[in-house]
Amino acid sequence: MAEPICTTDRRELEVFTKETLVKGQPAKIKCVEIGGQTYSVTRGPVTLVSLEDEWYEDVSDPEFVVKTLSHDINFKPDLFTFWQRLPEVEPKYPYAPEWESIAALPISDFDHWFDNQVKAATRNMIRKSQKAGIQVRECSYDDEFVRGMTEIFNETPVRQGRRFWHYGKNFETIKLQFSQFLFREDLIGAYCGDELVGFAMLANAGKYGLLGQFISKIQHREKAINNALIAQTVRTCARRELSYLVYGYWGASSLSDFKRHSGFQEFKLPRYFVPLTQKGKLALKLGFHRGWKAAVPDGIKIPLKKLRRMWLGLHAE
């Protein structure tokens, strides 16, 4: 545990710039380092600080982070936020928790998943993919695989009712951008003959496996490629002795039914927002600490999303 800060030892944190990907595009973000961990800084109506790789790391000492941010001379963020990662679902810190809902699949072994955690309809879809000639295997990140990725990404500019982040990228861009995290990823490819028709990127987050890219060709959708990919992903998690497979957030989306049918469950994790300034306290009280999108009522948000899907569908290339 880091040494506590004396309240008289006021100093200035160094804010530095780091290059990363935001919504699939290169971006520069502001960061600070505290206790050997990197925290990103999000500026807006309120300035928010959070652990940059919070899906992959736990905040080692939240109290130390709060004290460090509170006692800094010039850097004055309004809020510090962090959460507890799966499987720690019970609040263990002295801050008022809110709740994040994630989609996670408990894993013991493949046979248990196939026989007990999915229904007959999903098992039949996996068999259907095999009969359609889909072969799924773990892959290497070589030029052939990247060419297949590029073809899949450029199949359509719209996916799941949104503009697709990676549409229009060339081979060189994709090869560079997706090589950054190979040190913690397994690549799983679905093939129809020699053609890559879908792939998944499974990251090892220590306590669980985390699905990153999970995508297949629309022109082959009748071959149940996604079901075949999930099946192989479960096999890989079992081989890696990962107790859970996490597939983003739980909620209303075009993927919700697929997640449920694949055995995923809703897990609620405590998230904490710690105010550091009066502005932070006010934002927390008024409910603006999660940004303006979160403050929009569902009665307005859902119709707007439907309009967006319709608009993108009409203007898709």
* pLDDT for position 210: 98
Q: Among 214, 74, 203, 204, which residue's Cα sits nearest to residue 136?
A: 214
Residue 185: closest CA among 165, 213, 226, 207: 213
Contact (CB, 8 A) for 106 and 246: no
9-23, 36-50, 211-225, 234-248: the lowest-pLDDT one: 9-23
Binning pLDDT at 50, 70 and 90, where does residue 22 land?
confident
When pLDDT is averaged across residues 100-121 and rounded to a whole number, the result is 96
Find the mean pLDDT for residues 35-54.
Answer: 94
CB 126 within 8 A of CB 228: yes
> What is the biggest distance separating any 2 CA atoms in the chain, rounded to whole angstroms?
70
User: Which 3 state secondary structure label does DSSP give 159?
Assistant: strand
For residues 134 and 136, what is the distance between their CA atoms, to the nearest angstrom? Answer: 7
- 37 neighbors 57 (Cβ within 8 angstroms): yes
Looking at residue 302, its pLDDT comes to: 52
Task: For residue 238, report the phi and psi dihedrals to the nearest 5 degrees.
Answer: -65, -40
Please give the helix or strand (H or E) that residue 122 lies within, else none: helix 120-131
> The tokens of 101 are what?
């809902």
Q: What pLDDT score was predicted for residue 23?
A: 81
At residue 32, the pLDDT reads 95
- CB–CB of 86/207 below 8 Å? yes
pLDDT score for 304:
52
* pLDDT greater than 50 at residue 1: no
In the predicted model, what is the mean pLDDT of the chain?
Answer: 89
Strands 209-216 and 79-83: unpaired
- Mean pLDDT over 155-164 rounds to 90
Residue 183 has pLDDT above 50, yes or no: yes
pLDDT of residue 25: 85
Neighbour count for residue 180 (Cβ, 10 Å):
11
Nearest one of 30, 54, 56 to 42, comparing CA atoms: 30
> Which of 206, 197, 101, 113 is CA-nearest to residue 153?
197
Residue 121 has pLDDT above 50, yes or no: yes
C-alpha distances in angstroms, 79 versus 69, 169, 194, 279, 287?
A: 9, 36, 51, 9, 13
Average pLDDT (27-42) is 95
Q: What percent of the chain has pLDDT over 70?
A: 87
Q: Contact at 8 Å (CB) between 229 and 200?
A: yes
Burial class of residue 242, CB neighbours in 10 A (0-12, 13-18, 19+) = buried
pLDDT-derived band at 9 (thresholds 50, 70, 90) equals very low
184-243 pLDDT, tens digit per residue, is 999 999 999 999 999 999 999 999 999 999 999 999 999 999 999 999 999 999 999 999
User: Is 70 exceeded by the pLDDT of residue 313?
Assistant: no
| Phi, psi values for residue 159, rounded to 5° | -135, 135
> What is the rounded average pLDDT of the residues 160-180?
93
Q: Full-prediction pTM beyond 0.75?
A: yes
Q: How far is CA 54 from the centre of its chain?
A: 10
Instruction: Find the mean pLDDT for residues 297-311.
Output: 55
Task: Tell me which of 41-45, 96-100, 146-150 is least confident.
Answer: 41-45
Alpha helices, DSSP H, located in 132-255: 143-153, 171-177, 225-239
Q: What one-character DSSP code corresponds to residue 114? A: I
pLDDT band for 288, please (50, 70, 90 cuts).
confident
Asked if residue 240 lies in contact with residue 61, where contact means CB atoms within 8 angstroms, the answer is: no
Q: Which pLDDT band, with edges at 50, 70 and 90, does 90 fall under?
A: very high
Q: What does the alpha-carbon distance between residue 254 and residue 308 come to, in Å, rounded to a whole number?
A: 14
pLDDT-based confidence at residue 4 (cuts at 50, 70, 90) = very low
Determine the residue type at 205: A
